[in-house]
Amino acid sequence: MSEVAVMSHFVLLVLHLFAAIMFAGAVFFEVLILEGIRKPVGREVMRTVEIAIGARARRLMPFVMLVLYGAGIAMAYQYRGVLAHPFSSSFALMLSIKVVLALSVLVHFITALTLSGARKLKSRHFQLIHLSVFCHVVLIVFLAKAMFYIRW
Ligand code: HEM
């Protein structure tokens, strides 16, 4: 790899990592902190908080997602040879599963945005989407690191 290619991969990786921290951090906060205060705070206040968080997320998260997926796709392009044969190695398989899970997160995200924009995002949907995205993110981060260390 040339010096320029190494530097551009480094820049993409740092952008991807910061965006992943912002996105995964928000998901972890919502599931581990926010869900834990549902009972003491009460239904009405919680609903107000969820609407306010939804409005803030709708403004900020599209930019975070753009950086996250943009940098991810640009890095994945450098692994295109590997991704063309997902069953050829443990690295190829883990990276492919990571990408599929990330696409599923995008579907969740777009569904949540559409529902909340149409004011159809009920607390139950809010909870289920967060729990599902939380599980996806845990697996994605695990695979993102495991693919470099675990081999079979
Ligand atoms: C929810 C979305 C995503 C999250 C939370 C996420 C998270 C991460 C994390 C934590 C890393 C490890 C960074 C490091 O080594 O320090 C990583 C690496 C990577 N991600 Fe993602 N990612 C997401 C979406 C995507 C997408 C959509 C793609 C491509 C289509 C992608 C492609 C990659 C690639 C190729 C690497 C390895 C880069 C390398 O070290 O060479 N990611 N991701």
CB 72 within 8 A of CB 93: no
Chain-centre distance of CA 8, in angstroms?
Answer: 22
Looking at 18-144, which runs of residues are DSSP E strands? none
For 136, the domain range is 3-149
Measured by CA distance, the residue closest to atom 35 of ligand 1 is: 76
Confidence (pLDDT) at 92: 98
Task: Provide the residue-wise pLDDT of the chain in tens; the chain has 152 residues.
Answer: 789 999 999 999 999 999 999 999 999 999 999 988 988 999 899 989 988 988 898 899 999 999 999 999 999 999 999 999 999 999 999 999 999 999 999 999 888 878 877 766 677 787 899 999 999 999 999 999 999 999 99
CB 108 within 8 A of CB 132: yes
Confidence (pLDDT) at 55: 87
Domain total in the chain: 1
* Centroid of ligand 1 to alpha carbon of 59 (angstroms): 23
In the structure, which protein residues have their CB atom closer than 6 angstroms to any atom of ligand 1?
Answer: 13, 16-17, 20, 23-24, 68-69, 72-73, 75-76, 79, 99, 102, 105, 137, 140-141, 144
Enter the tokens of residue 54: 């939804």
* Centroid of ligand 1 to alpha carbon of 127 (angstroms): 25
119: left (phi over 0), alpha (psi -120 to 50) or beta: left
Confidence (pLDDT) at 121: 66
Confidence (pLDDT) at 97: 98
